[in-house]
Structure 1
């Protein structure tokens, strides 16, 4: 399987080598064929997870109740291809991997097909929450001038989430009896494509100074999936040359997602927001 993070890093290295080895073709606002952003995203998190079934299940805030880190710096990449003046495809990549060892503020229940887990209050719990997001979209510029571009987009946000708990719990296997376990471990995953629709805007205040942003939305119930998604971003960048820029951005992202399979449900209410510093390339 192709690693998107490695793809972005390889592309960035290739661009640097290209820029140092030969003079890149000059391009202006909205004229690029290929664009790349590579950055560091400092995010604040608020995560509530529910793993429920016929024997119950408790919604638990991973940061407040279990001490999961509520801030993290991570890599963010974006690759764009403008295959016609008003048409482009954009691929993004985020990867958050968080874990903590802390004392649970209250007991909580996880009900899965493998059994029912009641984790004890004031017990030491190891919590893991991994989140990978790969958004891909097609955008059409319905208004485009030398200094302003307005676009509408359609795409998918492919996500992969893993939630895991390890600690002192009372475990009841299917058809069995409750048994205290000193180090019970349970993990569940949820993944899939979420369709999104959005609007984008970019404005060149000067030939070198550009501001922009986007707003994406999803709300759908289909098969075993349901939920909503809001993705908003503002950014500004300064082009030191025709092909190289440095910028700052702010992202606010919220997904309220549930996957139900029979009587069992994996639910995630996940909010992250924060600042990003990035470098940009265009050709």
Structure 2
């Protein structure tokens, strides 16, 4: 995935290079985040701890009723986990910038005996997981964002800008263990007792827009207060989702090229996604993925 994002960002850089003026201006403030040259690339890597609450609406084959299975409580996925993140910025023509960022949440856990049987639909195939079955669960979520920022208000020691962008979510759900395959027959779902051992569903959301504000203020030589807020919400027939990203912190200049940032971040992604089988309106794969983080984060960046 990172290779694809890199190719996309490289194409955008090439397009912006043709747009940028050949004889750019030198900024008045040498401590500005855009620095003393018109064009600048900033790479930032860091990490933080997340809190997750993920569930899926599945069907109880004995009672014929839907119920919610919790990935953290029922399937033992880690609720809190350290996560890496990656960001890249390209500043050009003094006021303009492109950015790309990526976060991942990958988790795997194993349960020796399922207490409640359930059926689930993954990639239009129905699978049966019986009570007492040994089950290994994987739930991976990657979030990639690509966007553009414009500094509409600038001064000797501060910047204020507007950002617009697109974000995409890559979701992988997997079950391994005592799993039976099911087919639709005579307006009913009939399952094979022979285990298949593995069932995987990989979903990718279409690029969805987000909008935000950002700013920075140099309050002391080599120290800068930075903040941003981004928001997104969508509601379609089978999809409802929101994204909130608020961050505020202090960036310290270690050397001319190396900087370190300590920030407080509130980050939340909430996605509801419904799927139906062809047998009536049976919902056997309704996702509710909630991924949030409230706490400190650290990162280092390099400018060139």
- Flag the 1:209–1:44 CA change in 2: closer, same or farther, 3 A: same
Cα distance, 1:49–1:210 mapped onto 2, change above 3 Å? farther
Distance 1:2 1:43, change over 3 A: closer
The aligned counterpart of 1:23 is none
Find 1:230's aligned residue among 216, 219, 244.
244
2:120, 2:93 → 1: CA distance? 50
1:37 aligns with 2:44: yes
The 2-side partners of 1:5 and 1:236 are apart by 28
In the alignment, what sits opposite 1:49?
A: 56
1:132 Cα deviation after fit: 1.5
Structure number, greater radius of gyration: 2
1:138 corresponds to which of 148, 164, 185: 148
C-alpha displacement of 1:271? 1.3
1:3 corresponds to: 3
Residues 180 and 196, structure 2, Cα contact 8 Å, conserved in 1 = no
CA offset at residue 69 of structure 1? Answer: 1.6
> Are 2:209 and 1:187 aligned?
no
Instruction: Give unpaired runs (5+ residues) of structure 1.
Output: 8-25
Count residues in correspondence: 263
Per mean C-alpha deviation after superposition, the further-off stretch among 100-109 and 260-269 is 260-269
TM-score w.r.t. length of structure 2: 0.74
Is the Cα–Cα contact under 8 Å of residues 149 and 161 in structure 2 kept in the other structure? Answer: yes
2:95 aligns with 86
Is 2:65 aligned against 1:65? no
Q: Structure 1 length normalisation: TM-score? A: 0.79
Report the secondary structure of 1:173's partner residue.
strand
Does the 8 A contact of 2:229 with 2:244 survive in 1? yes
Whether the 8 Å contact between 2:269 and 2:290 is mirrored in structure 1 is yes
Contact 1:113 1:174 in 2 (8 A): no
The match for 2:221 among 207, 212, 221 is 207
In 2, distance between residues paired with 1:279 and 1:242? Answer: 13
Query: Do the aligned partners of 1:51 and 1:267 also contact (CA within 8 Å) in 2?
Result: no
Asked if structure 2 preserves the Cα contact closer than 8 Å seen for 1:5 and 1:77, the reply is no
Instruction: Kindly state the Cα deviation for residue 163 of structure 1 after the two structures are TM-superposed.
Output: 0.8
CA contact (8 A) 1:168 1:180 kept: no
How far does residue 106 in structure 1 lie from its aligned partner after superposition?
4.0
RMSD of equivalent CA atoms: 3.0
The answer as to whether partners of 1:130 and 1:161 remain within 8 angstroms in 2 is yes
Report matched runs for 1:1-283 at 5 Å. Answer: 3=3, 27-32=30-35, 33-50=40-57, 57-103=66-112, 104=114, 106-112=116-122, 114-121=124-131, 123-169=133-179, 171-175=181-185, 177-181=190-194, 184-192=197-205, 193-222=207-236, 225-260=239-274, 263=277, 266-273=286-293, 274-283=295-304
Q: Name the SS for the 1:174 alignment partner.
A: strand
Structure 2, unaligned runs of 5 or more: 8-28, 278-282
Per-residue deviation at 1:90?
Answer: 0.8
TM-aligned CA deviation for residue 250 of structure 1: 3.5
